[in-house]
Amino acid sequence: MTAPVTDAVSALRVDVARLHQELIRWNLVVWTAGNVSARIPGTELFVIKPSGVAYDDLLPESMVVCDLEGRVVEGAAAPSSDTAAHAYVYRAMPTVGGVVHTHSTYATAWAARAEPIPCVLTAMADEFGGEIPVGPFALIGDDSIGKGIVTTLLAHRSPAVLMRNHGVFTIGSTATAAVKAAVMCEDVARTVHIARQLGAPAPIETRDIDRLYDRYQNAYGQSAAE
């Protein structure tokens, strides 16, 4: 690796280790489930969590660097068991800079029913631009999870997909943006679930969803990631 790449790897090791603590903070994961990765800009590499390490023990130096085929390039531990899915997303979606996977409770309850979360909140229109879609049932071991994530996300504006009977995958231009999408996904999954217990949530007109999405993505704050 060249010196600038080594510097980028060091910075992203710190970033990705820190973002795993955000998954704990926002109550999105239990035990060792869940993972965050970040593409190393200008390379065919990404940084990801090691497999089966307790969240308290996740340090920058324990992160693993992989190539876009999911092979380990740097790191002592085996990478996350979801590495192949992350690698597939980076290969297929060149603008994606970060990927997150969780089994967060409310969102995964929608995934268990294979039901998309309807866009019935303005915050959903802002972040997801419509429903949060369901991806296919897929088993770990080959490219089927990655393929299911990419096919579903390419057909929607949502940066989050509920993989059927499994859990949530989110993408972003950075790993921070992907973590934000995972946090927001769980939040709206919970709110819409509660709304459902009380009756039928009122729909938002497509035209208004478009307006909200455009405003939030293009004009709100400093950038969509904030």
Q: Which residue is nearest to Zn ion (CB)?
A: 167
Taking the complex as a whole, how short is the minimal distance between the CB of residue 192 and Zn ion, in angstroms?
A: 22
Q: Binding residues for Zn ion, how many (CB under 5 A)?
A: 1
CA atoms 13, 78, 144, 118: torsion sign: negative
Nearest by Cα to 81 from 141, 9, 136: 141
Active site residues: 101, 103, 126, 166, 220
Taking the complex as a whole, how short is the minimal distance between the CB of residue 80 and Zn ion, in angstroms?
A: 10
Taking the complex as a whole, how short is the minimal distance between the CB of residue 168 and Zn ion, in angstroms?
A: 9
Specify the pairing of strand 160-163 against strand 134-135. parallel
Instruction: With both helix axes pointing from N to C terminus, report the angle between 105-112 and 175-198 in degrees, rounded to the nearest 10.
Output: 70
Name which of 133 and 201 has its Cβ closer to Zn ion.
133
The type of residue at 59 is: L
Binding mask 140-179 for Zn ion (x = CB under 5 A): ---------------------------x------------
Binding mask 71-110 for Zn ion (x = CB under 5 A): ----------------------------------------
Neighbouring CB atoms inside 10 A of 149's CB total: 26
Name which of 32 and 191 has its Cβ closer to Zn ion.
32
Q: CB-based contacts of 43: which residues, under 8 Å, 6+ apart?
A: 5, 8
* Residues at the contact surface with Zn ion, assessed by CB under 5 A: 167
